[in-house]
Amino acid sequence: MAQLFHRGANNIVKASLALVVILGGTAFYAYTQIARSSYLTNRYLERQQPVQFSHRHHVGDDGIDCRYCHTSVESGASAGIPPTQTCMNCHNQLWADSPYLEPVKASYRDNKPIKWERVHDLPGFAYFNHSIHVAKGVGCSTCHGQIDNMPSVYQENTLQMEWCLSCHRNPEQFIRPKSEIYNMDWKDSDLTADERNKLKTDYKIRSRELLTSCSTCHR
Amino acid sequence: MLRNKPRAEVMKSRIPGRTLAVAACILTLLFSVGCRYDMQDQPRYKQYKSSEFFGDGKAMQDPPDGTVARGQLQENKALYTGKKEGVDINAPVESTTDAKGNTIVATFPNDVEELPLPLTKELLERGEQRYRVFCIVCHGPVGKGDGMVVRRGYPQPTTYHDDRLRNAPVGHFFDVITNGWGKMNGYSSQIPVADRWAIVAYIRALQASQNPNPKSVTAGDTPGANETKTDGNQESTNTEPAANGGAK
């Protein structure tokens, strides 16, 4: 029986096998990168809000503490969106006639809440509670970035599960003293590794197994 | 039946079956994509979500007027309002007029004079922390009315460091934080009751710090008692509040 394939066909088979591996690998890598891209995670996407509210001005320039508006961050699951009255504490006098404030004044006048665009939206199957994170030494800027530099707030991190786990596996790399939770300029390098390990003990942070167990976040 | 069929016909009937299986797989995959988004955006309310069900469009509803949650009866009038029990609301209030023609209330007959919470180091520290969150923006770091918001043009609040407010009962400060005063809005929605009293205690400490005269401040409210605990000897700590109380 005559040879069906030319002798060089062996090389073609080897090359195509290699190509399958290379192409497959590239495709998989591309998939992982696309899944993490801001196109899919909405990271760095600045949202247009109904009011031109600037965190950079109120936090950065005026030095107003996060908790002045986000009052329930230490006691509840949600950090709290301030009622319009909180805006009016200052803006009943300051810039009271500015057209930029009209949506706020209308909200106050008509007793209708302002419809803010949600920036950080976790999927419904993920349980998250602000108060426990704040109580265990996770600062605002660790997750939210330097809000005091954001004229309009964007999502600083992917909010993907691997990002949550990066801290739940090694919390000692990210925690800080209680007094620095609301400090926007805090750097993780401000404490040595030993000091952060001590904090982890002081805060009684649970074991890696418990922090990464499924039902910790999926309840 | 099958045996009688010609071979080609059997082949024909197999192919649609395989195509069906592939199509079913693709459909299942498509549905699984749909599932992911259903789980992602579940039909339940999160905090601050809007709702088409309720008339005001809010998912978070206020409890009906007059509802008292378990353990929230708030019987302790002094603690929850800063007002004395059984006091005539129409009791005469002394007031004077300043140079600008503003009426200044000088006496507060209905307001409690004693903190309804035990004055502890923790309470003062909590008060300092809360003061720095909520009050410092207008009243400034020591209560002189020079906060950042005032520097931006908000009408300047009066300083804590004049005789009128030094002599005002603690209940007055609680009342102002709760219900507002002049241009200041009430902060009852932002600051829980216990924190309001902590702030009041800290304001007393601020007043003492700017006017270190033991006779001019209420005894138990001064931070001095706590400070002497750390630097002074134990005996002076025990006698000092009593002496001040006598003076008051």
* pLDDT value, residue B177: 96
Cβ distance A77 to B47 less than 8 Å, yes or no, reads yes
CB-neighbour burial class of residue A157 (10 A; exposed 0-12, middle 13-18, buried 19+): middle
Is A110 domain-assigned? no
As a dihedral over the C-alpha atoms of residue A185, residue A190, residue A195, residue A197, rounded to 10 degrees, the angle is 60
Q: Is the pLDDT of residue B149 over 70?
A: yes
Cβ distance B42 to A62 less than 8 Å, yes or no, reads no
Is A131 domain-assigned? yes
Is A29 domain-assigned? yes
- Which of A62, A89, A92 lies closest to B148 in CB terms? A62
**Cβ of residue B7 closer than 8 Å to a chain A Cβ:** no
Residue with tokens 């969106």: A81
- The pLDDT tens digits for A77-116 are 999 999 999 999 999 999 999 999 999 999 999 989 999 9
The strand pair at B95-97 and B103-105 is best described as antiparallel
**Cβ of residue B39 closer than 8 Å to a chain A Cβ:** yes
Query: Which chain A residues are Cβ-neighbours of B56 within 8 angstroms?
Result: 112
> How far is Cα of residue B30 from the mean position of the Cα atoms in its chain?
48
Query: What domain range includes position A25?
Result: 9-36
Of the candidates A24, A158, A32, A134, the one whose C-alpha atom is nearest the C-alpha of residue A76 is A134
Output the 3-class SS for B79-133.
Answer: HHHCECCCCCCCCCCCEEECCCCCEEECCCCCECCCCCCCCCHHHHHHHHHHHHH
**Cβ of residue B134 closer than 8 Å to a chain A Cβ:** yes
CB-neighbour burial class of residue A64 (10 A; exposed 0-12, middle 13-18, buried 19+): buried
Cβ distance B133 to A63 less than 8 Å, yes or no, reads no
C-alpha to C-alpha distance for B146 and B159, rounded to whole angstroms = 9
DSSP class of residue A4? S
Distances (CA, A) of B102 to B59, B96, B105, B156: 44, 8, 10, 14
Is A51 domain-assigned? no
C-alpha to C-alpha distance for B158 and B16, rounded to whole angstroms = 87
C-alpha to C-alpha distance for B47 and A137, rounded to whole angstroms = 24
- Which of B133, B152, B155 lies closest to A67 in CB terms? B133
Domains and CATH numbers, chain B: 110-247 (1.10.760.10)
8 Å CB contact between B201 and B209: no
Cβ distance A90 to B149 less than 8 Å, yes or no, reads yes
> How far is Cα of residue B40 from the mean position of the Cα atoms in its chain?
32
Cβ distance A123 to B39 less than 8 Å, yes or no, reads yes
Total beta-carbon pairs less than 8 A apart between chain A and chain B: 62
pLDDT confidence of A6, banded at 50, 70, 90? Answer: confident
- The pLDDT tens digits for A147-205 are 999 999 999 999 999 999 999 999 999 999 999 999 999 988 889 999 999 999 999 99
The Cβ of residue B87 has, within 10 Å, a number of other Cβ atoms equal to: 13
Cβ distance B148 to A124 less than 8 Å, yes or no, reads no
Is A84 domain-assigned? no
**Both tokens of residue B116?**
């309804």
Is A32 domain-assigned? yes
- Which of A63, A78, A124 lies closest to B42 in CB terms? A124
Interface of A with B (CB under 8 A): 62-65, 67-68, 71, 77-78, 81, 83, 85-86, 88-90, 92-94, 112-113, 115, 123-125
Cβ distance A63 to B148 less than 8 Å, yes or no, reads yes
Is A21 domain-assigned? yes
Q: Which residues contact A83 (CB under 8 A, 6 or more apart)?
A: A113, B189
The residue type of B181 is: W
pLDDT confidence of B233, banded at 50, 70, 90? Answer: very low
The helix/strand/coil state of B157 is coil
Q: What ipTM was estimated for this complex?
A: 0.87
- Which of A63, A94, A112 lies closest to B153 in CB terms? A94
Number of domains into which chain A is organized: 2
- Which of A67, A93, A113 lies closest to B183 in CB terms? A93
* pLDDT value, residue B75: 86
8 Å CB contact between A46 and A154: yes
Q: Which of A27-31, A44-48, B6-10, B62-66 is the least confident region? A: B6-10
Is A42 domain-assigned? no
**Cβ of residue B182 closer than 8 Å to a chain A Cβ:** no
pLDDT confidence of B215, banded at 50, 70, 90? Answer: low
Q: Give the CA count within 13 Å in the CB-facing half-sphere of A64.
A: 23
